[in-house]
Homo-oligomer: A and B are copies of this chain.
Amino acid sequence: MIDKLAQHIRKIVDLSANEEAELSDFFDVRTFDKKEKMLEAGSRCNDHFFIVEGCARMFFVNSKGVEHTVQFAIENWWITDYSVFGRHVTTDFFIQGIERTEVLVINFQRQEELYRRMPKIERYFRLIYQRAYAASQFRTKYLFGYSKEQIYRHFNDAFPDFTGRVPQHLLASYLNMTPEYLSEIKNKVDLNPD
């Protein structure tokens, strides 16, 4: 399992075979069933997840009891609630496998220890967070500046695997539209793919 993460890290920094072995001591391997919770609202958030295989989503439940999906994570993505990760406050989010999902888990204290032992890992996470933040700036632009059809077309172009893989009511929630409206748009886009 650690080889998947090592491959991902090597796209950014060098990593020797010894360092890969050392890295594996910092992580636990876990498998979550479909719908099983990796993080629960109301609890502390001390774990950082790297998706090896499968797909997870992060969501919260608003005051009316409605679930809102704010993020998906597929293979090679990291996910946690960064606002409270490692802090003495509880999260408002759930993270849940939407299919059977294998992850590597590192907790906050071990991640800090990893930075001390292998400073090059700071560079890796500096780039991971920079890209995550960039994606969120980009998403904000779409949410504010484009029609729902344009948002769906963009999402479908950028992540073609996603739109088929993710249950449609969850995709609708992520795109902030009703499942019925998403279905209408999908039909329209299928007929006019340009």
**Which residues of A121-165 have CB atoms within 8 Å of chain B's CB atoms?**
122-123, 125-126, 129-138, 140-141, 143-146
Q: Across the interface, do A126 and B122 meet the contact criterion of CB distance under 8 Å?
A: yes
* Chain A interface main SS type: helix
Q: Across the interface, do B92 and A137 meet the contact criterion of CB distance under 8 Å?
A: no
Tally A residues with Cβ within 8 Å of B: 35
Sample of 16 A–B contacts (CB below 8 Å): A60-B141, A62-B146, A70-B140, A70-B141, A70-B144, A71-B137, A82-B131, A83-B134, A92-B141, A115-B123, A119-B122, A122-B122, A129-B129, A129-B133, A133-B133, A136-B137
What are the residues of chain B within 8 A of A60 when measuring CB–CB? 141, 145
A68 in the interface, Cβ–Cβ < 8 Å? yes
